[in-house]
Amino acid sequence: MSNPETVLPEAARIAAELAPTYRDLHKHPELAFQEFRTAGLAARTLMDLGFEVTEGIGQTGVVGVLSNGDGPTVLLRADMDALPVEERTGLDYASTDRATDASGADVPVMHACGHDVHVTALLGAAELLVGCRDDWSGTLIALFQPAEEGGGGAQAMIDDALFEKVPRPDVVLGQHVAPLGAGLIGLHPGPAFAATDAFEITLHGRGGHGSRPELTVDPVVLAAATVMRLQTVVSREIAGTETAVLTVGTLHAGTKNNIIADHAILGVNVRSYDTVTRDRVIESMTRIVHAEAQASGSPREPEIVATESFPVLVNDPDASARTRTAFARVFGDEQVIDPGVVTGSEDVGMLATEAGVPLVYWLLGGAELEAFQAAYATGRLDALPSNHSPLFAPVIEPTLTVGVAALATAALEWLDERALPGV
C-alpha cells in the first residue's frame, strides 16, 4: 500500500464487498439520536477489524481507536442520521421505514443526505487501513457521529467527554457526498460551508369562526405576509458581494378550514459566512416579524426562539493543500476540483475546534457522471436531485470506491511519513 497506485484497486475490492451493507443502510435509515441499528453495525465492524471501540458517546455515537505505534493521531468522521423525508427514488432498496420524531410525530425516514454513503465509506477505509498497517505508524480514530442534521451531534459527543475517552487527534478529516459527478472530489480551502441558525417563530392571533373574520386576528394572513416580507432580507438588505440565505422551511397553523386559528408557527433557517452578515440577517428578520405582527394587530408580541446554531466550516488552508496533493497523486489532478463555497452547513468543524487542530472536509461526487456533465454544460444543475430531495440517490459506483479511497488516502497522508512517497 506504500504505492498510491494500489489504493484505488484495494478500495474497489472493499467497496464491492460493502455494497450490500450500503443498500441495507439505505433501506433502514434512522433519525437523529435514534441511530441504534447503524451504530451497532459500525461498532461490530470496528471490533472485528481490531479497533478498541467505545459506544454511546453523545447518546448513539461510536468511536473506534486503532493504535499502531508512534506517530500522529488522525480522526476520520462519518455522520449516521437520516431525514424525515418520504423516498421517491424507485430503487429496489428504497426506504419505506417510518419513525417517531422528536416532537412525537410519525414521519417517513430516508437517507436523503447520503449519510449511508459516509458510514459505508468509513467502514471501508478502516478495513483498508488495517490491511496496510505495516505501511504506516500512528493512531487511527474512526468516529461515527449521530445527529448531524440538527447540528447537535458533534456537540453532544464533545459534551460527553469525547476527547477524554479517546486521544485528541492531530487532524480531523471527512467528506460529504453531493450531486457532483461521481469520481470527482471537491475541496475548497478556507471558509467552505456556511454557518447555520434556525429559529421557531410563533405569531399570535385571535381565533374564531371562519365566517366572521372581523372578530379575529388571522395568524395565517399574518404568517403569509411575514413569509413574503422575509424574502426581501437577502434580496434588498444584503449586498451582492455578500452571501446569505434565509429560508422559511415550515409553516403550521390551524386545524380546520372554517376555523381561524389563534397562532401560527414558522420554522426559519439562516445561512451565512461571516458574523456581520449573520447579525444583519437575524436583526432584519426580527424587525420584520415584530413589524408584521404590529401591522396585523396581533394581541401579543411574537416569540422568536433559536433552536439550532453551528459555525462556519473552515478548511485549514495548509492542511487542505497537503491533502489535495495526496488526492491528486491517487485520483489524478483533473479529478480534484475546487467547488467554491457551499451554502449547506456541517457541524464536523466543532470536533476540530474542540481538539484545536486543522480540519479538512471535502465533497464526494455521487451523481451519474454523464448526467452531471450534461447538466453542467447546459447550466441546469438544478435538474440533478440534490441533498434532502426525496429523489436523492448517489450511484453506488464509483461513489463508494472513491469514498473509501479518499478517506484512506487522506489518513495515510497524515499518518507516519512511510505511508506515501513524496510526503
β-strand partners of 191: 314
From the candidate CATH numbers 3.40.640.10, 3.40.50.1100, 3.30.70.360, 3.90.180.10, the one assigned to the domain spanning 195-309: 3.30.70.360
β-strand partners of 414: none
Angle at the Cα of 138 (from 137 to 139), degrees rounded to 5? 140
Q: Look at residues 394, 400, 18 and name the one whose alpha carbon lies nearest to residue 179.
A: 394
Q: Is 95 helix (H, G, I), strand (E, B) or coil?
A: coil
- Phi, psi dihedrals of residue 181, rounded to the nearest 5°: -60, 135
Report the distance separating Cα 1 and Cα 142, nearest Å. 20
Q: Look at residues 346, 363, 361 and name the one whose alpha carbon lies nearest to residue 311.
A: 346
User: Which regions of the chain carry the CATH code 3.40.630.10?
Assistant: 4-192+312-414
Tell whether 26 is in a known binding site: no
Report the distance separating Cα 21 and Cα 162, nearest Å. 27
Report pLDDT digits (tens) over 310-343: 899 999 999 999 999 999 999 999 999 999 999 8
Tell whether 176 is in a known binding site: yes
Write down the pTM of the prediction.
0.89
Report the distance separating Cα 136 and Cα 416, nearest Å. 5
Residue 17, all three cell numbers: 464487498
* pLDDT at res. 2: 52
* Structure-derived torsion over alpha carbons of residues 387, 393, 394, 400, reported in degrees to the nearest 10: 120
Report the distance separating Cα 400 and Cα 25, nearest Å. 13
User: Which regions of the chain carry the CATH code 3.30.70.360?
Assistant: 195-309
Tell whether 388 is in a known binding site: yes
* pLDDT at res. 310: 85
Looking at CATH, the fold of the domain delimited by 4-192+312-414 is given as: Aminopeptidase (3.40.630)
Report the distance separating Cα 5 and Cα 22, nearest Å. 25
Q: Is 258 helix (H, G, I), strand (E, B) or coil?
A: coil
Per-run averaged pLDDT (10 residues), the chain, 423 residues: 78 98 98 98 98 98 97 98 98 98 95 98 98 96 95 94 97 97 97 94 97 97 98 95 94 97 97 93 98 98 93 96 97 96 93 98 95 86 90 97 98 74 38
